Amino acid sequence: MRARLAAALLGISLASPAAACTTALLLAIDVSNSIDAGEYRIQADGLADALIDPEVREALIAGNVALSVMQWSGRGSQQIIFPWEKMLSDADVLRWSEMARTMPRAFIMSDTAVGDMILSGIQHFRSAPDCDRQVIDVSGDGTDNAGTDPQGARARAESAGITINGLAIEGMGVSITTFFRRHVITRDGFVMTSRGHQSYAETLKRKIRREVSQIMF
């Protein structure tokens, strides 16, 4: 009896505490009317490739990062595609990469409601694991044209301690990077620019590395 008790106590003393989650990262993907079928495929494949980038994968696992994916477009059109899950192993990251590559598109032919996306993201963090940081990683190729004022939504995110970073997909016309800087990202956030959809995958890799490793690239 004493031997069993001693062994049990030893097991408790030697058990290492679970590593803390450094970041809850919500990946918010624009699927509004400006995104055609080919551009959607580039975004899905880009996310899949970014997750299995060696540096990204290592940082996700080392930080026990919790991931979730949202697709968003117009007023009231936000859908959580993948709920929160911590990346604890290579198998977790590889599975998420496969899911991202085959994820269906949630919305077609809709406006661009950035403020609604932010408010939906704030709500979604209520079910997130307990992590040191909460970050919305939003990608998009258009300016806001429907729904809630994005600046007001951004202020609510800041009050909740949520960081908003942006990946601006530039095309012709209005600067999306400037729009994100002025109206979307929080004061502690940043914007990275993709020159068209073709450079989206590489830009997303660099962006996620920066978000989960907190290294300035």
Would 155 be classed as within a structural domain?
Answer: yes
Would 177 be classed as within a structural domain?
Answer: yes
Would 2 be classed as within a structural domain?
Answer: no
pTM of structure: 0.87
Would 162 be classed as within a structural domain?
Answer: yes
147: left (phi over 0), alpha (psi -120 to 50) or beta: left
Would 88 be classed as within a structural domain?
Answer: yes
Higher-confidence residue of 86 and 143: namely: 86
Residues 154/148, Cβ–Cβ less than 8 Å: no
Q: What percent of the chain has pLDDT over 90?
A: 63
The yes-or-no verdict on residue 62 having pLDDT over 90 is yes
pLDDT digits (tens, 9 = 90+) for 144-157: 788 889 999 999 99
Would 4 be classed as within a structural domain?
Answer: no
Would 104 be classed as within a structural domain?
Answer: yes
Q: What CATH number is given to the structural domain containing 52?
A: 3.40.50.410
Residues 115/164, Cβ–Cβ less than 8 Å: no
Q: Burial level of 38, CB count in 10 A (0-12/13-18/19+)?
A: exposed
Q: Burial level of 164, CB count in 10 A (0-12/13-18/19+)?
A: buried
Band (pLDDT 50/70/90 cuts) for residue 173 is low
Q: Which two tokens stand for residue 142?
A: 């258009």
* Residue-number span of the structural domain to which 198 is assigned: 27-213
Please count the structural domains in the chain.
1
Would 68 be classed as within a structural domain?
Answer: yes
